[in-house]
Structure 1
Amino acid sequence: MLPWPSPQDELDRAAKVANWLPSGLRCALPENTEGDLQNLALAGHSRGGYIAFALALGLADVALEVNFSALIGVDPVAGSSKNGQLKPKILHDESCSFNISIPVAIIGTGLGNTSVIPCAPDGVSHTEMFNECRPPCSHFVTTDYGHMDVLDDNIGLDGWAARTMCKGSGRGFRRDLMRKTVGGIFVAFLEAIFKGNYKEYNNILQNPKYFAPAKLDPVQNKSEGSSCSSLSAMSMPAFAS
């Protein structure tokens, strides 16, 4: 059995894949489909979310040859605890410390930190990453769902084993509603950033009870132009339209 790659190895591989896009993406796309590398988003779930943030922070040992325009983290996890962070370390317990200038959306889970061995522990997950992001950045928490609930139901033996370890939604909560919510946030966020259509994204920010299939609480936003020193943990104004 091959050893797991280190976080730095994963980060460097991600940078190499990003650098491959200008020369290799066209060959991998269906006929008559063009990729738009001027509108390139970076996203990841769990440890992949950590890798996405680390890549955006410029921590790869491989120099990036492309520019990202947006970043999305889905229940990102940067380690097992504050004292057990993955390396390279990205969290410094300091508000707005991330040197990331692109818009960010973070989607966390309400149950990710509740199992005996939490899959998204407090101190190294979505709340801390939102705290350390500079504006513009939004934060959504799928209150009734856990770390693995965003994945497809049929995720194989390894996925099933991981799901049994991570506390997830209880009886009466459909995982497909979480997936629809996460997908809707993805689409609305990218529509806002890439096309300037902020209507649907602001609808979710301002009235999640009406526009999201799954419960979102809290929903927070750091608007562009806001001073970090003036931001609180309360809900904040929507993105400018």
Structure 2
Amino acid sequence: MNSTHKTASTNIFDLGKYPTNFINIESKTCCSFNHKVSPFSPPKPLLICSPTQAGDFPVLVLLHGYLLCNSFYSQLIHHIASHGFIVVAPQLYTVAGPDTQGEIEATAKIIDWLSEGLAHFLPPQVNPDLKKLGLAGHSRGGKVAFAVASRRSNPMTIEVSAVIGIDPVDGMDKGSQTPPPVLTYSPRSFDLGGAGALVIGSGLGEVKRNPLFPPCAPKGVNHEDFYNECRKPAYYFVAKDQGHLDMLDDDTKGIRGKATFCLCKNGKCREPMRRFVGGAVVAFLKGYVEGDTSELVKLREGHYEMLPVVLQRVEYIV
């Protein structure tokens, strides 16, 4: 465990009051020589960030984007956890084709594992409150989050109270969605079992970085389409002048990490989008897993004087 400390703040866009630990957990399929796997090991490797202070804390499962590493989200994960949440970020795959069915099934298994396995890896007297569970995903992970929450083919034993799409994407264009498709292009068609929905979009996601590559969040399969299919309660924020990968860590290492600076149209720096996403997720989770909508109302009504980003769209149905 690596302990992380911070200055206490009541501002959702700053780090919160809780000191946290990062925890890496190998999966049951780990095959390293002489590596001992716990009988409580999860179906996929996990990166967890947990408060270290004793208490009962809501849980957020965060799904990574296409061909990305869960570790690329460590600063965002830390931000959310520091406000009193246990964040569980699986590594769903290292190499993947176009079909997301395996990711959908793996995520459902991870959520079911939480009740039997998660507590065994947390700091002493830190308890996961699985009656307060959120599910979030970035890019392709956002598509998977909505697919899992709609339970089209993946019954789970734990109810999800909040579903969050962070610049979600369902394929390269409307005519070639990533199978199985999630978007139906029928307004308010998502059945999330009463869970609240939050969709965060990037203003630059649908803009090409160069002629050789398509935009990372193409119009017709992006955040706007996901929000249009959400039933109430649902919230929608689009950050102007911010890119599809701007919520990742400032320094993403390795070949994949370097590529995150090259493939998508980016903003000037990542910190503003990352702080906004972290704060918006915290406000939404407080509202829909903890029952305190005060921060969410402030955000939707424009009562924050110093937002990290400029918002070009704010919509909601409640």
TM-score tier, shorter chain, comes to 0.7 to 0.9
Deviations 1:120-143 (A, max 9, x none): 011111000000100110000011
Distance 1:196 1:51 in 2: 25
1:90 maps onto 2:188 in alignment: no
Greater Cα shift, 154-163 or 128-137: 154-163
Aligned match for 2:266, one of 168, 178, 192: 168
Distance 2:130 2:259 in 1: 37
Distance 1:208 1:45 in 2: 26
Partner of 2:117: 24
Distance 2:173 2:152 in 1: 20
Partner of 1:183: 278
Partner of 1:231: none
Partner of 1:76: 168
Return the offset for 1:211: 4.9
1:47 maps onto 2:140 in alignment: yes
1:63 maps onto 2:155 in alignment: yes
Distance 1:93 1:154 in 2: 37
Which protein has the bigger strand share?
2
Q: Structure 2 vs 1, CA of residues 95 and 211 (structure 1 numbering), >3 Å: closer, same or farther? A: farther
Greater Cα shift, 212-221 or 155-164: 155-164
Return the offset for 1:199: 1.6
Q: One-letter code of the match for 1:161?
A: A
Question: TM-score, normalized by length of structure 2?
Answer: 0.66
Q: Structure 2 vs 1, CA of residues 208 and 217 (structure 1 numbering), >3 Å: closer, same or farther? A: farther
Q: Structure 2 vs 1, CA of residues 208 and 120 (structure 1 numbering), >3 Å: closer, same or farther? A: farther
Q: Answer yes or no: is the 8 Å Cα contact 1:209–1:215 preserved in 2.
A: no
Question: Can you give the 5+ residue segments of structure 2 that lack an aligned partner in the other structure?
Answer: 1-93
Distance 1:3 1:36 in 2: 32
Q: Answer yes or no: is the 8 Å Cα contact 1:208–1:215 preserved in 2.
A: no
Return the offset for 1:167: 0.3
Return the offset for 1:194: 2.5
Which protein has the bigger helix share?
1
Return the offset for 1:200: 1.3
Deviations 1:88-110 (A, max 9, x none): 21111111011122101110100
Return the offset for 1:59: 2.8
Question: TM-score, normalized by length of structure 1?
Answer: 0.86
Q: One-letter code of the match for 2:110?
A: V
1:102 maps onto 2:195 in alignment: yes
Distance 1:138 1:14 in 2: 23
Alignment of structure 1 residues 199-218 onto 2, 5 Å: 199-207=294-302, 210-218=305-313
Q: Answer yes or no: is the 8 Å Cα contact 2:134–2:289 preserved in 1.
A: no
Question: Can you give the 5+ residue segments of structure 1 that lack an aligned partner in the other structure?
Answer: 224-241
CA RMSD of aligned residues (A): 1.5
Match of 1:36, SS state, is strand
Distance 1:129 1:208 in 2: 26
Aligned match for 2:128, one of 31, 35, 40: 35
1:14 maps onto 2:14 in alignment: no
Partner of 1:226: none
Partner of 2:15: none
Match of 2:288, SS state, is helix
Distance 1:131 1:87 in 2: 20
